[in-house]
Amino acid sequence: MPSIYNYTDFKAFLIDEMQERSLRNKRYSLRAFARDLNFSNSRLSYILNKSAGISLDTARKMAKSLGLSDMEREYFVNIVQANYGRSKKLRVAAAERVNSQIKRRNFKLFKTNFSGLLSEWYYMPLMELVILKKAKSLKSLSAILGVKEVVVKKALRQLVDNGYLLQKNDDTYEKVNEFLKIDSFTPSEQIRNFHKQIIKRSASEIERQQIANRKYMSAVFGFKKDQLQEARQEIERMQMEFMQKFAVSDSADSVYCVSMQFFELTEGQNPN
């Protein structure tokens, strides 16, 4: 399915989705698409080929039939309303929600040249800590991260020099990019070390933090390995949607980490 977030016209999204399905199944047609969306063939054809829009209730039903996630459904309904809302006020309000959702999806993607960001595990948490509404002192940053004040000071300089943080005249900081996403398809020692440090910190917080302030979940289940790629994509999608819903910069009062692990248990380990 094409990403709904690449569209501001729901009809263009529907046409591309139908074409993608027809590529997977040469016999797939407009009639089949209408059936899957719980529409008559003539009704769907009219929606796609005429300038008229659809109602709010119809947009919600269509989004559900498409199998969109909750956040994707919200976006789908908003682009329908932004273009075809009954009043200018409704269209403007929906357009603002669309822009807000797009902004929250603005992840800066790094496929290469991310070494400056992952050279130390605490660089990414530090970027979030220094932009909190209530500024943290070097002493408090040192205590939170478990490193010396001189190390924190050096790290801030590195983040500024590498273009991840902007230091303002009043010695406060601003992130250059709203969100960062690092994507590497080749093995990376720095990425592995980063994850190991995060997992180590996570293990210590099980004992230190109260249950009301954290959430830990684990599940063990049988799995078909031919679904591995699909499962990896679904996990990434879940984490991205979680971030898009809860991650904030300008109004944040704390810094949290959500870390997911998905690994095989049927591979043996050497006994101690």
Average pLDDT on 175-204 reads: 78
230-264 pLDDT per residue, tens:
898 889 888 888 887 888 766 788 999 999 999 99
Q: Do residues 247 and 179 lie in contact, with contact meaning Cβ atoms separated by under 8 Å? A: yes
Share of the chain above pLDDT 90, in %: 36
Specify whether 149 is located in the same domain as 92: no
How high is the pLDDT of residue 109? Answer: 47
How high is the pLDDT of residue 115? Answer: 57
Look at residue 175 and tell me if it is in a domain.
yes
How high is the pLDDT of residue 88? Answer: 92
Specify whether 142 is located in the same domain as 235: yes
**Is 0.85 surpassed by the pTM of this model?**
no
- Look at residues 62, 89, 105 and tell me which one is the last residue of a structural domain: 105
Q: How far apart are CA 226 and CA 221, in angstroms?
A: 15
Specify whether 75 is located in the same domain as 203: no
> Looking up tokens 């990425």, which residue turns up?
191
Specify whether 148 is located in the same domain as 182: yes
Specify whether 19 is located in the same domain as 94: yes
Q: How far apart are CA 140 and CA 149, in angstroms?
A: 9
Specify whether 26 is located in the same domain as 100: yes
Average pLDDT on 12-29 reads: 90
Specify whether 16 is located in the same domain as 67: yes
Sign of CA dihedral 209, 212, 216, 221: positive
How high is the pLDDT of residue 238? Answer: 86
Q: Which domain holds residue 116?
A: 110-246
Looking up residue 59, the CATH number of its domain turns out to be: 1.10.260
pLDDT category at 4 given cuts 50, 70, 90 is confident
Specify whether 152 is located in the same domain as 220: yes
How high is the pLDDT of residue 103? Answer: 66
Q: Do residues 73 and 65 lie in contact, with contact meaning Cβ atoms separated by under 8 Å? A: no
Look at residue 210 and tell me if it is in a domain.
yes
Euclidean distance between the first and final Cα of the chain, in Å? 47
pLDDT category at 184 given cuts 50, 70, 90 is low
Count how many domains the chain has. 2
Average pLDDT, the chain: 84
Residue 207 scores a pLDDT above 90: yes
Look at residue 270 and tell me if it is in a domain.
no
